[in-house]
Structure 1
Amino acid sequence: MGFFLETLIGGLMVGMLYSLVALGFVLIFKASGVFNFAQGAMVLFAALAMARFSVWIPQWLGFESRLLANLLALAAALLLMIAMAWLIERLALSRLVNQEGITLLMATLGIAYFVDGLGQLIFGSAVYQIDIGMPKDPLLLFDSVFEGGLLVSQEDLYTTVIAAALVAALTLFFQKTGTGRALRAVADDHQAAQSIGISLSRTWIIVWSVAGGVALVTGIIWGSKLGVQFSLSLVALKALPVVILGGLTSVPGAIIGGLIIGVGEKLAEIYLGPYLGGGIEGWFAYVLALGFLLIRPQGLFGDKIIDRV
């Protein structure tokens, strides 16, 4: 029982991180109606910025405090992601208003390659580390209840709390604020939103800035766990099954989908791995997403599309 609970808790923690990655896709889709293939590149760029600024800023300003360096690096990386959001809106999206979805999709693919190249040009292509002071030693819990207790990674526990808090804040933002309702209106119909005075330019800058902030938090968390390297952008691919499962238009769906994928792949690796071979964690999420596409294409919480002829 203890081993099962360890696996379950580990899956929930990883699933919350998947949800955080998926949120970036959902935010952009809700505001522009396009699937943002640049989200993985944004995660990598933000992680690179955080890793390099935390080293460069102490050198520039001449101090040795790691905490101060991390705080200043976080602020600088956030400002950089907001500036990137403004440039993306001004140079690309504002010129593609009311264009076909495939046009916007190809634009995000171009942005992804550009951001990847820009990150390598500015920050280099070496493997970097992000140290934000989170403990990495395992924590023993409930040793009086289960034989041997439950081993839980302290780093995973901290990152899960951070991810959960950000997810909750974004959910409230979309549901309870006027700006969040404006974002939903823009997602439903660009022209109708413009006709009632909602600025597409302002809305898209806001949502891309928020998505950039989400990418920064995601990049810091995954960079701390795995190191900052260019394969980090592939982590975002795990968000594809999450948004398919939860629904492209649903923030709660991204949360539930991430938890299902995280728990499912951990349990499958442990209990099906001996019979099917290793590596189940690599493909389980995609097989599950394919099954949902066949049964419920809009996902668990997505809006069902009805075409009237």
Structure 2
Amino acid sequence: MSFFVETLVGGLFAGVMYALVAIGFVLIYKASGVFNFAQGAMLLFAALTFVTLTERGVPFAPAFGLTALVMVVMACVIERLVLRPLRNRDALTLFMATLGLSFVVEGLAQLLMGTDVHMLDLGIEDVGIEIGGILVSQFDLTAAAIALILVAVLSIVFSRTSMGVALRAVADDTLAAQSIGIRLPLIWRVVWSVAGLVALVAGLLWGARQGVQYSLSLVTLKALPVLIIGGFSSIPGAILAGLLVGAAEALADIYLGPLVGGAVSPWFAYVLAVAFLLVRPAGLFGDEAIERV
């Protein structure tokens, strides 16, 4: 029984890491209705920028602040050069723009910071801690705490502030929001900046776990099942779906893997996502699409 609980807890912690990546997608989708394919490239760029600064002797706090500033500047540049010229275009056009943007960001990262693999030490030991007879990872505990704090801050900002009200208005009806004086370019800059900061936090945690390298951008593929299951427009949905995917993967690997003669975790989450698409296409907390004719 203890082995089952340890496997479940480990899967839940992994799910928190998935959800942290998915939140960046949710933020931009809520504001523009666009799936931001460049989120993985932003995560990679943030992690590379931070580790490059620390390797050159910049202390942790200033390096974090400078990297956050870089991500905000990047958001402003993206809004001005990519999003503003494509305003009022359909979602598919904007998606293709973010697809091209992802290659531009990755190429820029390679040009400025090279292609070497970097080890990232955040000062968090990845050792086991026994809690209630269950062995858990100290790194996973810390990552989960950081993710929960980040989600709490975002929830307060987007539910209790005027900017949050404006964001919800844009998400509900862009044209109506513009008609009452809400500036869409400002909303996009803010949301992309916040998504960049989320990418920075996620990039540091994932980079500390598996090294800062170009395959780090592929971690966003793990966020796709989370988004499908939780709903593209719900932060609580991303958290719950992340926990569900992480736990399901861990348990399936242990109990289903021996039956099929191989690892299950690389593909099991996608099977789960397809099942949700068949039963509930909008996800657990996603908004149902309403078409008026």
Q: TM-score, normalised by structure 2?
A: 0.98
Q: State the one-letter code of the partner of 2:17.
A: L
**Long gaps (5+) in structure 1:** 59-68, 143-148
User: Any residues of structure 2 matched to 1:189-204 within 5 Å, and which?
Assistant: 189-204=173-188
Question: Of the candidates 139, 143, 152, which is equivalent to residue 155 of structure 1?
Answer: 139
Q: Do residues 119 (structure 1) and 109 (structure 2) align? A: yes
Question: Of the candidates 92, 97, 102, which is equivalent to residue 82 of structure 2?
Answer: 92
Q: Do residues 56 (structure 1) and 46 (structure 2) align? A: no
Deviation at 1:5, TM superposition (A): 1.1
Q: TM-score, normalised by structure 1?
A: 0.93
Q: State the one-letter code of the partner of 1:274.
A: P
User: Any residues of structure 2 matched to 1:101-250 within 5 Å, and which?
Assistant: 101-142=91-132, 149-250=133-234
Deviation at 1:180, TM superposition (A): 1.1
> Cα RMSD (Å) of the superposition?
1.0
**Long gaps (5+) in structure 2:** none
Structure 1 consecutive aligned stretches of length 4 or more whose deviation exceeds 2 Å: none
Deviation at 1:289, TM superposition (A): 0.5
Q: State the one-letter code of the partner of 2:214.
A: F
Q: State the one-letter code of the partner of 2:105.
A: V
Q: State the one-letter code of the partner of 1:261.
A: V
Contact conserved, 1:25 with 1:35, CA < 8 A, in 2? Answer: yes
CA radius of gyration, larger in = 1
Q: Out of 209-218 and 185-194, give the one that drifted further.
A: 185-194
Deviation at 1:141, TM superposition (A): 2.7
Counting aligned pairs with the same residue, the percent is: 57
Contact conserved, 1:247 with 1:298, CA < 8 A, in 2? Answer: yes
Which residue number corresponds to residue 64 of structure 2? 74
Contact conserved, 1:44 with 1:219, CA < 8 A, in 2? Answer: yes
1:65-96 CA-to-partner distances (Å, cap 9, x unmatched) read: xxxx1111111110100000000001010111
Contact conserved, 1:57 with 1:73, CA < 8 A, in 2? Answer: no
Which residue number corresponds to residue 47 of structure 2? 47
Partners of 1:76 and 1:129 lie apart in 2 by 19
Partner secondary structure for residue 152 of structure 1: strand
Partners of 1:224 and 1:150 lie apart in 2 by 24
Q: State the one-letter code of the partner of 1:253.
A: G
Contact conserved, 1:54 with 1:72, CA < 8 A, in 2? Answer: no
1:186-211 CA-to-partner distances (Å, cap 9, x unmatched) read: 12222211110100111000000000
Partner secondary structure for residue 139 of structure 1: strand
Deviation at 1:139, TM superposition (A): 1.2
Partners of 2:101 and 2:57 lie apart in 1 by 28
Contact conserved, 1:247 with 1:253, CA < 8 A, in 2? Answer: yes
